[in-house]
Amino acid sequence: MKNEIYDVTIIGGGPIGLFTAFYSGMRELKTKVIEYLPQVGGKVTYFYPEKILRDIGGIPGVSGADLIKQLNAQASTFDPTMVFGERVDGLERGEDGTFILTSHNGERHYTRSVILAIGHGTLGMKKLPVDGAEHFEGGNLHYTVERVEDFRGKHVMISGGGDSAIDWANRLEPIADKVTIVHRREAFRGHESSITELNKSETHVKCSCYVSDVIGKEHIEQVVLTHIDTGEKETVSIDALLVNHGFDLDLGGIQNWGMTMNDGKVVTDAKMETSIRGVFAVGDIVTYPHRLTLIAGGLAEGPKALNSAKAFLDPDAEAMAMYSTHHKEFAEV
């Protein structure tokens, strides 16, 4: 069974990988999904389970956890094989054209085509660069929000200036006693509407400064801010510190496959094919002109890549699958 050959192997079980697996079933391809984490959902499950996502048409708002739950149920419709806890590093092509994928633990997977849906690669939160900060992890120093209610009635300080920091400030401000957001730069980097919402809220904004020290015993009691322009230091009492400094990214052995890459991303054509014939890529790992960097954009890329894989496997196949409403799995009797 370990040498069983699949039509399509999707590397990555995040939102885009899950929807691609569903569409692979629509096209009646034998499908395997390999995910490095112990569960589906990728970055959304790991970092944003309670964040409300509003980037998908027809869904006014859905938590990250609920979105993944629905995508997983959808992906399971055609019973793809799911493999967890493996990071795919190696790629080689057998004499018969079959790809052989090798995981970090030595497991080998055989497939006729490959779709990369690995997001930014293996993810790890960038930690607060303050000596001794790790002592407070698991206490009131947070890199993710597992339960919004944990911040109710507290003074929450958020360090960061990108979309995640802004979104959490907007989400927590209505329930927290006070929210302070600290950013090294003079201006925030995020969606215009989110920045406008932030500016209209009662969130305290401190730009051109950064967290230079934390003070406390069992928990952080005070944070020292250093103002970049003047070097002046300011001590602020807080109840919780949420750090959103981005991610440390690791593509592992995939970056050595020989695909054309640009600034750490895989270059694809309009059919989502990489420079290796039979290997396709979707989601945040890819780059091409005018790419839409939203989940909705990635959800459209999955079927495009799958249709290209189908054509690669069977040049006489239809260009795309029938609509789901016409598929025998969903047609009304």
Q: Report pTM.
A: 0.73
Residue 331 counted as domain residue? no
Do 144 and 207 lie in one domain? The reply is: yes
Do 133 and 105 lie in one domain? The reply is: no
3-state helix, strand, coil in the chain (%, to 5): 25, 30, 45
Residue 20 counted as domain residue? yes
User: How many Å apart are CA 29 and CA 280, to the nearest integer?
Assistant: 15
Residue 321 counted as domain residue? yes
Whether 2 shows a pLDDT value over 70: the answer reads no
Residue that is last in its domain, among 184, 210, 245: 245
Q: What are the tens digits of pLDDT across the range 81-122?
A: 999 989 999 999 999 999 999 999 999 999 999 999 998 876
257-263 long-range contacts (CB < 8 A, ≥24 apart) are 257/91, 262/287, 263/287
Residue 231 counted as domain residue? yes
Give φ, ψ of 16 to 5 degrees. Answer: -70, -40
- Region 302-312: mean pLDDT is 96
Pairing of strands 31-35, 81-84: parallel
Total number of domains in the chain: 2
Q: What are the tens digits of pLDDT across the range 166-195?
A: 989 999 999 999 999 999 999 898 888 889
Residue that is last in its domain, among 245, 276, 300: 245
Task: With cut-offs at 50, 70 and 90, classify the pLDDT of residue 8.
Answer: very high
Contact assessment for residue 184 and residue 193, using Cβ atoms and an 8 Å cutoff:
no
- Region 240-249: mean pLDDT is 86
Which pLDDT score is estimated for 333?
Answer: 42
Residue that is last in its domain, among 186, 214, 245: 245
DSSP state at residue 7: S
Do 253 and 160 lie in one domain? The reply is: no
3-state secondary structure of 43: helix
Do 134 and 225 lie in one domain? The reply is: yes
Do 157 and 238 lie in one domain? The reply is: yes
Which domain covers residue 171, as residue numbers? 127-245
